């Protein structure tokens, strides 16, 4: 991540920093996870904190700063509206985005749907601005939902097309894709879905650990 990479220190994240490299996490409440909004370096109590802890322990020789700008309740349109101040100005070397579940959820709890076309337009704009205004490597995480409680099964109709959008955008923008929906489904064959996310959306400690492991695997840290 940065600096003078040699064969022993190289990782696969795709960011090339100068000075301290900045790794930025963006998304909704899953990323936010009660971070302190008054502290720009607060990582919250979820997967960004777990990732930073493992990364720093395994790569102490690399000067890396971690930042979390997730905001609970955000949809892609909210991310789009705040992208300049919460990404472009920061100039990250690596940006990880996990967004989309609220674009699904609001259809079912508020009758306020986000169409697949709107979702794609918002996400495409975010990524276009990122590649035009930064040199950041990009990691995209699929939105995910687990079948607990039972009504979450109805959400597949809405979330599946949006997952396909994220996969297509990863190809278009040469981003690393972390298939979290599939990873959670696979994990749910080992332990019941509620073990990973009690409400099917917000990860438990184990669920956050699963996300962190997938990220660290993807960038070649573990």
179 backbone dihedrals φ, ψ, rounded to 5°:
-80, 70
Please list the active-site residues.
29, 199, 202
Respond yes or no on whether the N-terminal peptide bond of residue 149 is cis (omega within 30° of 0): yes
CA count, 13 A, side-chain hemisphere, 28: 21
Q: Quote the CA–CA distance of 47 and 150 in Å, as a whole number.
A: 26
Please give the structure tokens belonging to residue 7: 């064969």
Strand partners, 65: 22
Instruction: From 192, 26, 14, select the one nearest 96 (Cα to Cα).
Output: 26
Instruction: From 82, 162, 80, select the one nearest 117 (Cα to Cα).
Output: 162
């Amino acid at each position: 991540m940065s600096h003078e990479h040699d064969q022993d220190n190289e990782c696969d994240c795709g960011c090339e920093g100068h000075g301290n490299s900045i790794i930025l996490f963006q998304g909704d409440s899953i990323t936010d996870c009660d971070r302190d909004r008054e502290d720009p370096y607060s990582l919250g109590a979820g997967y960004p904190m777990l990732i930073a802890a493992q990364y720093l322990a395994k790569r102490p020789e690399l000067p890396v700063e971690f930042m979390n700008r997730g905001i609970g309740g955000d949809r892609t349109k909210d991310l789009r509206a705040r992208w300049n101040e919460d990404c472009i100005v920061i100039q990250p070397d690596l940006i990880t985005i996990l967004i989309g579940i609220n674009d699904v959820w609001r259809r079912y709890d508020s009758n306020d749907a986000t169409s697949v076309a709107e979702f794609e337009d918002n996400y495409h704009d975010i990524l276009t601005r990122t590649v035009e205004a930064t040199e950041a490597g990009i990691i995209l995480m699929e939105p995910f939902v687990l079948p607990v409680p039972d009504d979450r099964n109805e959400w597949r109709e809405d979330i599946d097309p949006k997952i396909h959008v994220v996969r297509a955008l990863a190809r278009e923008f040469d981003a690393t894709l972390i298939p979290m929906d599939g990873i959670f489904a696979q994990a749910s064959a080992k332990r019941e879905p509620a073990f990973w996310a009690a409400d099917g959306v917000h990860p438990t400690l184990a669920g956050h650990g699963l996300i962190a492991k997938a990220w660290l695997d993807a960038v070649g840290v573990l």
